[in-house]
Amino acid sequence: MPVTRRNFLIGSSLSIAAGALTPRLAEGQEARTASFARYDDWGAVRREFDLAPDYIHLGLFYLTSHPRPVREAIEKYRRRLDANPFVTVESSLFEEAEKNMPLKTCSSIAHYIGGDANDIALTQNTTTGLSLIYHGLPLRQGDEVLTTVHDHYVHHESIRLATARSGATWRKISLFDSYDSISPDQIVDRIRKGIGPKTRVVGVTWVHSASGVRLPIRRIADVIAEVNVGRDEKDRVLLIVDGVHGIGVEDPKIVAMGCDAFSAGTHKWIFGPRGTGFVWAKPSVWTRMRPLIPTFYANEVFNAWGEEREPEHPRAAWFSPGGFQAFEHHWALPEAFNFHQNIGPSRITARIHELNHQIKEGLARMPNVQLYTPRDESLSAGMACFDVKGMKQQEVVSRLLEQKIIASTTPYRVSYARLACAIVNTPEEVEKTLAAIRRLA
C-alpha cells in the first residue's frame, strides 16, 4: 500500500534525517546562545522564570516553572494550532523531515544525552516511560525482576503490573542499612549478590527522591556486564534506570553510563514543558520489546496495517504513544534542552552541587536536625532530606511555608522533610532557609 501524506517519517527516515538534523540543530543552539540569551550570571537565569519573587522555591524538582524560551515556544505553537489546527498537525507530524516536530524533538534529546535519535521514544512522563519498558519486555514465567526497597511507587507498580501479567516474579533488596554507612562499594556489592540465575532485569533509580542518595550507575552497569558473560542472549540481565532526578542535574551523557534503558520526565530538572518525557534504550533492547499503545511515529507499523500484515523489526519510534496530544508542549521541548545547553550542563551541575552542599553542611551542624542525604558529593545530587527532632515532617514543611519557603515531604513509608536547590536559587536563599530551620529546631 503506498503511503503519501501520512508517510510516518520517523520510522523510515530517522537514520538519514536525524544525522542531517542534529548538526544543524546544534548550530542553531549555538546561534541562539549568541543571539538571544547570555547567562553569564545566575541572576540572568533566574529572570527567565516567572516565579513568585517573594518565595524561596525549593520544590521545583516536583514540577517545573517554564523558563521564558519554553513559554514562548509553547505559545508560538499554540497560536499556530489555534489558527489552523488541521494544517499545523498534518505538516508537523506527517510530512517533510525538515518540518517533522517529533523528529526534531528526538534529535534535540539525542544531542543532549549523547545518543542516537533512533533510540528515543517520546512519552508524557517517567511513569509512562517505565510502564512502556516493563510491559514491553518479553518477560516469561520463571523470570525475575530485581529492584530495591528505595524506589518510588511508580517504579514498583510498573514492575508489579508487568510481572503479574507475564507470570514473572519480582524481588526487592536494600542497598544499605544506614544513611551513615553508605558507600558505592556496598551498593554495587549488594546488587551483585542480589542477582540470581533467574534474574532478567535489575531496576534502579539514579537519584532517590526518598533520601537524595545518588547511585553509581556506571559501576552497577559494569557488574551486570560481568554477570552476563557466558549467559545466552535471552537470559542476559538488563539494567533499567529511572533517571528523572539525575538528568538535568548530573552529566547529561546518560548513554555512556552503560544502562540498557532509561526513563525520565522532562518537566522537572530539565525545565521542559509539563507533560513531556522520553525513554532511551539500546537498539538491541528495542528489538526485543513489544509496544503497548498505537503510535503515530513509525512508518513500518502504519504500512503493515495498510498491507494487513504483522510489522517487523521493532524500534524506539514504535513505543512513542500516538493519538492527539498537547502538541504545543511536545514541540516546545527542544527549547528546554537549548536552555540547558546555553547555560552549560557542567555549570549547572556545579551550581546545583554548590548550593546543596551549602544546605547539607548547614543542616549537619544543627544539633536538633538529622540529615539523611549523604554529604559525599559522589553519593548525592540536588536534594537534601532531613528531620527536625520533635517535629513531624509535614509540620516542618508547613512552618517553612508560613515564611514563604517552599519545601516538601518525601512520599514514602518513612517520610522526611526535603529541600532541593536548583539553578534559580542563591546562596542567600540557602542561608535564609537554614536560619528558618534553626529557629524551628
Assess if residue 263 is contained within a domain.
no
**346-393 pLDDT per residue, tens:** 999 999 999 999 999 999 999 999 999 999 999 999 999 999 999 999
Whether 280 is in a domain gets the answer no
Q: The domain that contains 384 carries what CATH number? A: 3.90.1150.10
Give the three cell numbers for residue 110: 539525542
Q: Looking at the domain assignment, is residue 172 inside a domain?
A: no
Show the domain range for 408: 345-440
List the alpha helices (DSSP H) in 52-206: 68-83, 85-93, 101-113, 126-136, 153-166, 184-194
Q: What does pLDDT average to over the chain? A: 92
The answer to whether the CB of 310 falls within 8 A of the CB of 154 is no
- Within a domain: 415: yes
Q: 14 pLDDT exceeds 50?
A: no
Q: Is the pLDDT of residue 18 over 80?
A: no
Provide the pLDDT for residue 31.
40
Q: What is the pLDDT of residue 432?
A: 98
Tell me how far apart the alpha carbons of residues 106 and 276 are, in angstroms, rounded to a whole number. Answer: 12
Number of DSSP helices (H) and strands (E) in the chain, helices first: 15, 13
- Strands 277-281 and 120-123 turn out to be antiparallel
Of 421, 407, 441, 268, residue with least CA distance to 358 = 421
* Least confident among 8-22, 83-97, 193-207: 8-22
Any domain includes 206? no
For residue 340, the model assigns a pLDDT of 97
Q: Is residue 244 part of a domain?
A: no
Mean pLDDT over residues 49-77, rounded?
Answer: 97
> Is the confidence at residue 30, as pLDDT, over 80?
no
d(CA 344, CA 31): 14
Angstrom distance (rounded) from CA 237 to CA 417: 35
Residue 267 within any structural domain of the chain:
no
Q: Model confidence over 278-315: pLDDT tens digits?
A: 999 999 999 999 999 999 998 889 899 999 999 988 89
Read off the pLDDT band of 22 (50, 70, 90).
very low
Neighbours of 124 (CB within 10 A): 20
Q: Are strands 56-57 and 405-406 parallel, antiparallel or unpaired?
A: parallel
Q: Residue 298 and residue 7: Cα distance in Å, rounded?
A: 9
Residues in a beta bridge with 8: none
What's at 355, amino acid-wise? L
The owner of cell 553542611 is 361
Rounded CA separation 156/168 (Å): 14
Does the pLDDT value for residue 441 go beyond 90?
no
Asked whether residue 95 carries a pLDDT value surpassing 80, the answer given is no
Number of domains in the chain: 1
Residue 35 pLDDT more than 90?
no
Count other Cβ atoms within 10 Å, centred on residue 226. Answer: 10
Whole-angstrom Cα distance, residue 279 to residue 65? 22
Is residue 185, in this structure, part of any structural domain at all? no
Question: H or E segment at 402?
Answer: helix 393-402
Q: Is the dihedral of CA 147, 151, 156, 158 positive or negative?
A: negative
